[in-house]
Amino acid sequence: MANLGIGDLTLEQWRRLLRVALGEEPADLVLRRARIVNVASGEIEEGDIAVVHGRIAGIGAYDGGAQVLDVDGSYVAPSFIDGHVHIESSLLWVDQFARAVVPHGTGAVVTDPHEIANVAGLRGIRALAEAASKLPVGIFFTVPSCVPASPYESAGAAMDAAAIAEGLALPNAVALGEMMNFPGVLSGEPEIYEKLRLPARRRDGHAPGLRGYRLNAYVASGMGSDHESTQLEEAREKLRRGLRIMIREGSTEHNLLELLPLVTDATYPQCCFASDDRDCATLLHDGHMDAVVRKAIAAGLDPIRAIRLATLNTAEYWGLDGYGLVAPGYWANLVVFDRLDDLRPSLVVFKGEIVARDGRPLFSVEQAIPEWLLDTVRVAPVDRGQLRIPASERLTAVEAIPGQIVTRAIEVEPTTRDGEVVADPDRDLLKLVVVERHRATGRVGVGLVKGFGLKRGAIGSSIAHDAHNIVVVGVDDGDILQAIEAIVAMKGGLVAVAHGEVKARLALPVAGILSPEPLERVAEAYERVERVARELGSTVPAPFALLSFMALSVIPEARVTDRGLVVLR
């Protein structure tokens, strides 16, 4: 644990802090009659919380303050911290992301901006960081280590060791971002070596399915954490090898219930929570880390321990001084709620300022987005011939797994017509098409996918982790082409098409992956395109979220990228 110390205070500010802590002078803010969730000692304390200069001066009996809030026995905990998230997966520019998460008690996130980096490189990261610095939430960055994620997909930018070193010098940069290219690590690639030897405090891991000797080699290369475990024994082995286990619960990746038995009296200090990817609708209606904590408590985890996994453990791992604990010297980042068994934030404080009440943000955000970020979609014309798959008796297809981002490589006997493979919705075998969209190369990858359940039409997106090319799944080639055209016309976005007609769309012109619009409007449009996708027959709960991972070439077992089918085992 590390509080802030006095290094950023003037002599007079420090002396005032002392007088407030000693009860000799009124505080800026006092939260009276609180039941304080002490995640360090595992107990509930009763008392007042005195705040001055944005930080906690003391806990005890404090009467006077410029502002006194009687919380009347409500619980007060440190505000929540997301241990690993991609802000861009919310579909929101960072100001609207803050509006989405702060009312849910989020006081900090550790984000890997490799989505915007894959489109706009270090320049995009700087734009995001500049916008984030003005918001009432601590936004810390890990610097993307794999842009592009692998040689099997074509991104709009590249970040070599020199660019990463520049990124690590940015304010609020805390670590080297998740090392997704684990095959490159295991084969000892010189480029990976140059990145791993950079002087970073932490190196975030990404080790889906790695076990045994391969896991040994990966951890020995310097990685300290992992958020990719989907099976309990996989996570247990990683914990034994020294990794901090981030239990993930996002919009598409639901790993909490499977991994929660890992958290015991012996292991809980080595675990924390992360969302990885949560879309705007999930954030608006279900919540952020508060929803993860609620789910963990409902599944039987001790409430104070659940809160610790979303606060102190995360802050300690990432070295976020002043975050994660209600104690003197820490930032007054606080969340107030009435019930431990059904945690619903009623009041949120950030650095001593009340920033949300009863689920509503109390801060305004008006930020101009750089013009160059609004024009990033460049696509060469695509015709039917580029969607053709020559007839074959057997093909390797991608099988999507709802609720997971891992896939299976399966052998299928495709349906053919007039010498070419066609989609067969009766067998849930659809075409999966990925179009390079950064440099208009004309490169198109085509394959088959099982698991979406579409009966007609096509759905498409310019969100395709991690290179963010255009990805479309569909029954009909004409609708697939129409989806591609609609996405290009919007300068990025999501679309659902049937019989040559666009049935629903969501424009995402910021780097082709984000909307500049308010949270509520984006969530409404997102829910509509998802609803229409289900009307077209999709059987998965979040079809566009699942679609966004179908081109991610660093997650086993099979993907389609703009360069074709990729199989990882």
Q: What is the pLDDT of residue 34?
A: 98
DSSP string for 161-182: HHHHHHHHTSTTEEEEPP---H
Task: Return the higher-pLDDT residue of 103 and 542.
Answer: 103
Q: Strand pairing partners for 400?
A: 407
Separation between Cα atoms, residue 553 and residue 447, nearest integer Å: 14
- Reply yes or no on whether the pLDDT at 403 is more than 90: no
Of 562, 130, 180, the closest CA to residue 379 belongs to 562
Per cent of the chain over pLDDT 90 is 93
Tell me the pLDDT tens digit for each residue of 303-322. 999 999 999 999 999 999 99
Edge-to-edge strands of the sheet including 470-474? Answer: 407-412, 395-400, 444-450, 429-435, 470-474, 458-461, 493-498, 501-507
In the numeric block, which tokens belong to residue 28? Answer: 């800026």
- Reply yes or no on whether the pLDDT at 148 is more than 70: yes
Q: What is the mean pLDDT of residues 355-368?
A: 91
- Reply yes or no on whether the pLDDT at 404 is more than 90: no
Q: What is the pLDDT of residue 51?
A: 98
Q: What is the pLDDT of residue 1?
A: 54
Q: Which domains does the chain have, with CATH numbers?
A: 78-325 (3.20.20.140), 372-568 (no CATH)
- Reply yes or no on whether the pLDDT at 338 is more than 60: yes
**Residues 6 or more apart whose Cβ sits within 8 Å of residue 132:** 94, 139, 172
Cβ neighbours around 187 below 10 Å, total: 10
- Reply yes or no on whether the pLDDT at 117 is more than 90: yes
- Reply yes or no on whether the pLDDT at 385 is more than 70: yes
Tell me the pLDDT tens digit for each residue of 241-276. 999 999 999 987 899 999 999 999 999 999 999 999
DSSP string for 29-92: EEEEEEEEEETTTTEEEEEEEEEETTEEEEEE----EEEEEE-TT-EEEEPEEEEEE-GGGGTB
In the numeric block, which tokens belong to residue 386? Answer: 């580029």
Separation between Cα atoms, residue 368 and residue 215, nearest integer Å: 44
Q: What is the mean pLDDT of residues 546-564?
A: 93
- Reply yes or no on whether the pLDDT at 408 is more than 90: yes
- β-pairing, 65-70 with 557-561? unpaired
Q: What is the mean pLDDT of residues 537-547?
A: 91
Task: Return the higher-pLDDT residue of 406 and 165.
Answer: 165
Read off φ and ψ for residue 142, nearest 5 degrees.
-100, 145
Q: What is the mean pLDDT of residues 400-429?
A: 93
Name the maximum alpha-carbon separation found in the chain: 88
Separation between Cα atoms, residue 197 and residue 192, nearest integer Å: 9
Average model confidence (pLDDT) across the chain? 96
Q: What is the pLDDT of residue 367?
A: 79
pLDDT-based confidence at residue 147 (cuts at 50, 70, 90): very high
Tell me the pLDDT tens digit for each residue of 21-79. 999 999 999 999 999 999 999 999 999 999 999 999 999 999 889 999 999 999 999 99
Q: What is the pLDDT of residue 401?
A: 87
Q: What is the pLDDT of residue 365?
A: 82
CA angle (537, 539, 540) in 5-degree steps: 135
What is the 3 state secondary structure string of 490-539? CCCEEEEEECCEEEEEEECCECCCEECCCHHHHHHHHHHHHHHHHHCCCC
- Reply yes or no on whether the pLDDT at 358 is more than 80: yes
Q: What is the mean pLDDT of residues 192-202?
A: 96
